[in-house]
Structure 1
Amino acid sequence: MGNTQSTVRYLAPASFAYDFIAQQYGIFSSPNMLDIHNRNLAAFSPYPYFIGAFFFPQQVFQLVWLWKLWKQDGNAQECAMMNKFAWVYSLGNFCIGTWMFFWNSDNLPVSNIFVIINTLAQVGYIATTLESLDTRSTPNFLTHIVAKTFAGIGVLDLLHNTAAAYYVGVEPSALVQVATGVGFAAAASVSDWIFGGCLVYDLVALACGQQGGWARLLGGYAAMTAGIVGFKNFFYPTWKAKKEGRYERVGDGGGVV
């Protein structure tokens, strides 16, 4: 336990620093991230500034969480939760930091390998390993925020990078359009409000980055996903509590993610 604490206290901040430095390289190099994005527009290319708008507040949450992790600020269960997630968190940062160098080299198929690893790791973790949300515990709540926002933006990264790597300029087929709606609806139906909110954000970013009927359909999917998340996490729990004559804190329970 002591070795694990010692390792992740250094590994997680180091991974954050690596990813942050790589992102700065991606922004200020020539060509930069946006140049590569504009060269490889595809059916799942989001409006690029949505990515920056997402990462700024997310990195603030990461820094607060890293401070808690460094101080081991919590009871034994809370610290164990943070330490366990820190391994997947670090993997994600190292993957995305490395992704940047291949993306800016316009080697999108290789960059996509790192996106796949990150997205599968983050989504897999919140679906199978992450403990139940407890909004009364700051370390627990911060871990959920960081883990689920990492997974949420990972879904967008995977759709974007895969399309840009292999399907530049290709219109989405009817099958892809239907599968997109079904996939997001299914994910929303098993999501809590944090990850579910990220899914809605992903769809809005995609809708704003596209044109015509596909953009309108993505916007409709965003509204549908928001409705599913809202019903599952707010309206249904409240209705159930009233029916049973009791009230529960939304988000305190389990759920898949």
Structure 2
Amino acid sequence: MGNAQSTIQVLAPLSFLYDFAAQQYGIFSSPNMLDVHNQNLAAFSPQPFFIAGFFFPQQLFQLAWLWKLWKRDGSAEEVAMMEKFGWCYVLGNVCIGTWMFFWNANDLKTSNIFVVINTVSQLAYISTMLPPMDTRSTPSVLTHVVAKTFAGIGVLDLLHNTSAAYYRNMPPSSLVQIATGVGFAAAASMSDWIFGACLAYDLVALSMGQEGGWSRLLGGYAAMTAGIVGLRNWFYPRSKAVNDGGAYSRVSREGGSLNNV
């Protein structure tokens, strides 16, 4: 286990640097990633500057998380949690970094393969493997923020790349428009504040990248998604507390239970 832990401590920052270097290539090469975006507009093409606006603060959270991982700063359980997610984190950075080279080569069908792998793996991790967040634990909070923002922007990447690769310049059908609203509403109904905010942000980015009625509908979906996330996370914890006796419990130093904390 020591070898595995040592390996992920090295691989995680290396994968960040690989992805970061690939993004710089995508920005400064010719054609650059924005040129390819403009050549392949589709029904799920976002306003590109919203993506840049998302990645800047997200990378700051990544750096803070990487520092905690590198220093093994936390309890044994917290370090184990960070290292477990680290493998999914590395996979995501490798996929998105590699995606950039195919995107800039205008090979969008191949680039879409890496987007699918990343998005599916990140969504699977946060829905099945990520332990509940402990708001008193900085490693736990950072792991949740990094994991859920990775998955959140992955949803936008998947919609964008798939539509650009296979449905360029095609308006969304009525079925696609309905499915978009239903899909985001369903996801929002199961999301916490972090992932739910990412879903709403995705829709705003899409709305700003489109025109006409489709843009307005996406904006409405963004408001709907934000409302569902707000209602779900405002009322559900309170109803759960009532059903559980009105309060959380914790274990005292003597092993007893202290209620109403």
**TM-score, structure 1 normalization:** 0.94
**Map of 1:56-205 to 2, 5 A cutoff?**
56-205=56-205
Instruction: Decide which structure has the larger Cα Rg and report it.
Output: 2
Deviation of the 1:4 alpha carbon: 1.5
Deviation of the 1:235 alpha carbon: 3.5
Partner of 1:33: 33
Partner of 1:252: none
Residue 66 to residue 244, structure 1, CA distance change in 2 (3 Å) = closer
- Give 3-state SS (helix, strand or coil) of 1:117's partner: helix
Residues 65, 143 of structure 1: 8 Å contact kept: yes
- Give 3-state SS (helix, strand or coil) of 1:52's partner: helix
Residue-by-residue CA offset, 1:100-153 (whole Å, 9 max, x unaligned):
000000000000000000000000000110001111100011000000000000
**Map of 1:238-249 to 2, 5 A cutoff?**
238=238, 241=241, 246=246
Counterpart Cα distance in 1 of 2:210 and 2:228 = 23
Partner of 2:53: 53
Q: Tell me if 1:24 matches 2:24.
A: yes
What's the RMSD between the two structures over aligned residues? 1.5
Residue-by-residue CA offset, 1:138-187 (whole Å, 9 max, x unaligned):
00110000000000000000000000001011010000000000000010
Counterpart Cα distance in 2 of 1:113 and 1:244 = 44
Counterpart Cα distance in 1 of 2:241 and 2:106 = 53
The one-letter code sitting in structure 2 at the alignment partner of 1:136 is R
- Give 3-state SS (helix, strand or coil) of 1:93's partner: helix
Counterpart Cα distance in 2 of 1:239 and 1:124 = 27
The gaps in structure 2 that reach 5 residues or longer are 249-261
Counterpart Cα distance in 2 of 1:55 and 1:246 = 39
The one-letter code sitting in structure 2 at the alignment partner of 1:230 is G
- Give 3-state SS (helix, strand or coil) of 2:110's partner: helix
Partner of 2:7: 7
Deviation of the 1:82 alpha carbon: 0.3
Residues 46, 210 of structure 1: 8 Å contact kept: yes
- Give 3-state SS (helix, strand or coil) of 1:7's partner: helix
Partner of 1:228: 228
Residues 95, 114 of structure 1: 8 Å contact kept: yes
Identity %: 73
Give structure 1 regions of 4+ aligned residues with deviation exceeding 2 angstroms: 235-248
Deviation of the 1:246 alpha carbon: 3.6
Counterpart Cα distance in 2 of 1:33 and 1:234 = 39
Deviation of the 1:236 alpha carbon: 3.8
The gaps in structure 1 that reach 5 residues or longer are 249-257
Partner of 2:213: 213
- Give 3-state SS (helix, strand or coil) of 2:132's partner: coil
Counterpart Cα distance in 2 of 1:236 and 1:77 = 27
Residues 238, 247 of structure 1: 8 Å contact kept: no
Deviation of the 1:92 alpha carbon: 0.4
Q: How many residues align?
A: 249
The one-letter code sitting in structure 1 at the alignment partner of 2:177 is Q
